Amino acid sequence: MVNRNIIYIATVIIIVIIVSGAFIYADYKTTNQNGKTGITITDDENYNTTLAAIPQRIVSLAPSCTQILFAIGEGSKVVGVTSADDYPYNFAAWAAAGNMTIDGDYGNPNMEAIAGLRPDLIVTDSINDPKLPSMRSLEYNVIELNPSTVEGIYKDIALMGKATGATTEANTVIQNLTSTINSIATKIANAHVTPLKVFYEVWTPPLITAGYTTWINDVISKAGGVNIFSNSSDTTAYPTVSSEAVVALNPDAIFLPTEMGQAPFYGSVNDVKATPGWNTISAVQNNKIFVVNGDVFAEPGPRVADCVYAIASDLYPQLFNSTS
Please indicate, yes or no, whether residues 203 and 107 belong to a single structural domain of this protein: no
Please indicate, yes or no, whether residues 159 and 254 belong to a single structural domain of this protein: no
Please indicate, yes or no, whether residues 206 and 161 belong to a single structural domain of this protein: no
Measured CA to CA in angstroms, residue 102 lies from 51, 81, 93, 296 at distances of 24, 5, 11, 20
- Give me the count of residues in the chain: 324
- Whether residue 9 is contained in a domain is answered as no
Please indicate, yes or no, whether residues 204 and 159 belong to a single structural domain of this protein: no
- Whether residue 258 is contained in a domain is answered as yes
Q: Give the DSSP H or E segment for 322.
A: none
- Whether residue 186 is contained in a domain is answered as no
Beta bridge partners of 37: none
Using an 8 Å Cβ cutoff, are 210 and 241 in contact?
Answer: no
Residue at which a domain ends, from 171, 204, 221: 171
- Whether residue 2 is contained in a domain is answered as no
Q: What is the pTM of this model?
A: 0.87
Please indicate, yes or no, whether residues 95 and 215 belong to a single structural domain of this protein: no
For 138, the 3-state DSSP assignment is coil
- Whether residue 117 is contained in a domain is answered as yes
Please indicate, yes or no, whether residues 138 and 93 belong to a single structural domain of this protein: yes
Please indicate, yes or no, whether residues 203 and 146 belong to a single structural domain of this protein: no
**pLDDT tens per residue, range 161-174:** 999 999 999 999 99
Residue at which a domain ends, from 138, 171, 204: 171
CATH code, 219? 3.40.50.1980
The percent of residues above 90 in pLDDT, for the chain, comes to 83
pLDDT at 33 over 50: no
Please indicate, yes or no, whether residues 158 and 240 belong to a single structural domain of this protein: no
Average pLDDT over residues 245-255: 98
Please indicate, yes or no, whether residues 132 and 75 belong to a single structural domain of this protein: yes
- Whether residue 260 is contained in a domain is answered as yes
Please indicate, yes or no, whether residues 216 and 134 belong to a single structural domain of this protein: no
Give residue 192's pLDDT.
96
Rounded to an integer, what distance in angstroms lies between the CA atom of residue 66 and that of residue 75?
8
Average pLDDT over residues 173-201: 97
Please indicate, yes or no, whether residues 50 and 160 belong to a single structural domain of this protein: yes
Using an 8 Å Cβ cutoff, are 251 and 285 in contact?
Answer: no
How many structural domains compose the chain? Answer: 2
- Whether residue 159 is contained in a domain is answered as yes
Q: What is the 3-state secondary structure of 161-228? A: HHHHCCHHHHHHHHHHHHHHHHHHHHHHHHHCCCCEEEEEEEECCCCEECCCCCHHHHHHHHCCEEEC
Domain range enclosing 110: 37-171
Residue at which a domain ends, from 123, 140, 171: 171
Please indicate, yes or no, whether residues 142 and 258 belong to a single structural domain of this protein: no
Phi-psi region of 98 (alpha: psi -120 to 50; beta: other; left: phi over 0): left
Beta bridge partners of 48: 42
Identify the CA nearest to 315 among candidates 250, 224, 251, 229. 224
- Whether residue 281 is contained in a domain is answered as yes
pLDDT at 1 over 60: no
**pLDDT tens per residue, range 50-95:** 999 999 999 999 999 999 999 999 999 999 999 999 999 999 999 9
